[in-house]
Structure 1
C-alpha cells in the first residue's frame, strides 16, 4: 500500500513504567488506521538496548542500538514516543527526535523536562496563578531533619504512574516512605494531603479545532490514595464527564490551559487537579499519559465522540504541523 505515512511507535524504556509504556505502544500500533499509516515498532529494553520491527535486536550495546534506531527513524515520517517517565517523557526522546530532525507527537524538550519534575511544575504553576498543594523538597541529606507534623503524601520528584507514592498518616511511616521514594529519585516531594475531588483535564492541540480540552474525568475511589496499585488493579472508577458546575468547569479549564501553556506543552497532556471548596489545586502534569484505548485520556475524548483511532490521527497530524512550523522557523 503506497502513500502511507510511516509512524515510528516507541515503547518500553529504562524506568519503572516500562510495562505501562509497552501496553501503550502495542495499543497504538494496533489502532492506527492501516489505510493511512504504517506502524514501525521500536522498543527500548530495560537495559537500554533497542529492538526494531519484528523484535529484532538493533545491536549488542546501547550505543549500537541507538545508532541503528536513528537509521530507522530517518526512514519514518513522524514519531510517537510513548515512553512514560524518566529517560523518555522527561524530554529525552523529544531531544533525540529534534536532533534527528523527525517530527514527533507530544511535548518538546523543555516542557517534558519541566513537567516531569514535580517541584519545577509547582513553581511554574504558582508563578502563573494556579494554586498547588503546599510541599517541600527533600533529599537524603535532609532525612535527619524531617519532622512529621501532619498527614502527608510522599512522592519521587520525577517518577510516574504513582510509583513510590505513599500516604503517610503516622510519624513511624514517614522515614520508610521517604526511603522508598528515594530509591526511585534522589529528590523527593513531601506534600500536605489535599481535601478535594480528583479531577483530570486533558488538553489537546487539535489540528481541526485548535487547542481544546476534553470532557473532565473524576477519579472515584472509596478510600485512600490513587496510587500505582489502585491505578492498575481495577478498583478505581471514573466518571466522564465529571459532574461540575459551570463555574467549576471554567476554573478547571482555565487553570489547565494556563499551566499547559506556561510549561510549553504541545500535542497532548493530562493536567490533574484536586477540586477543593476554594477552587482547583494542581496535582501534576503528564505530558505523555497512558495511551491504551482504556487509558484516561482516550476515554475522556471518546466520551464526546472522538474515537481512539481518530484521536491518534489528530495527534499525528498535529505533530506534522508543528514540525512544518519548526522547519520554517529554522529556515
Structure 2
C-alpha cells in the first residue's frame, strides 16, 4: 500500500496522504522526548516522504505545536498539510510555583493552565494562539477536541459545552472555513455514541477516530460509520495501534486502549498475532493497513518519537498483505465479517 497516495477527505477539497503523523508523543505523552529527538524524528519522516501532520494545543500544553511548528515553518508551506484542534484556552497560572509543584496532566509540558471554551470567542482565541505557537499563519483543518464525558467528567458539562459550540463556536469555525483560512472542520472521537450526537447538532466534514476502529475492534460499523456515509463525512484514524498493543503485540507493559489488557483482550490480540505470523506479516503492518480498506477512511496517523518509529511505520504500510490473511481473521472470528477488506 502506497503510504503517500492521496485520498479525498469526505466532501471537502482536501486530499490527505494515506499515512500521516500524530503529534501527541511530542507533548511527552508516555515518554519524555527531547527537542533534538523531536527534530530528528520529524526530519526522518520528512526525508522519507511524510507530509501530513496532526497536533493539538493539549499535547504537552502547547509543546507539541511548538515542536512541529518549529520544523514545518522551515518547509515550503504548499508542501505539507497540518491540522490542530480547538476547545481549550491556555493562560499563565495565577500561582506559577504551586502549578509547577502540582500533579497534573502532561507533567513535563509547558506551564500553562487551561479552561475548556467552545464559544465563538474561545474558538477564535484558541485558533490564533495555535498559529502563534506554530509560527504559521494558517492550518489546513481544525478539529473540536475532547468534548466528551471522559474528559469533561460530567454529562452536565458535556451538554453545556455542546450547546456553547452549537450556538457560538461552530459559527467561528464556519467563518474561518468560508474565509479560506481552513479547509475542513472536524471533531476528535474516542467513544461510541459521540458521532451521532455531534452530527445531530453540527455540520462537520470529518471525524478523527481514535480507538473505536482498529484491527482489534470495529464497533463503529454498526451505526456511526453508516451515518457518516449518509452525510458524506470523512474519517481519519488516530489510535490505529489501540494505544500500543497492535504495534508491539502482547508484551509486558503493552496497553490496550490506554489500559492493561484484560485476559480476553490479550487472547484476542494473540490470536491476531498468530494469523499474521502464519502469513509472514508484521502485526503493525496489518494494524496500519486495515482501516484504509474502509472507503470512508482517508488516512491513518500513528505517532512516534524516534526516527526509526516513522521509518518503520512507512515500511509497514508498504508491506504486502495477502487477501488470505483478512479471510482467515474473519474465519477465526478475530475480525468482523462485515469489516471492509480486499
Same-fold status (TM-score > 0.5): no
Per the normalisation by structure 1, the TM-score is 0.29
Bigger helix share = 2
Higher relative contact order by CA 8 Å / sep ≥ 6: 1 or 2? 2
Per the normalisation by structure 2, the TM-score is 0.28
Bigger strand share = 1
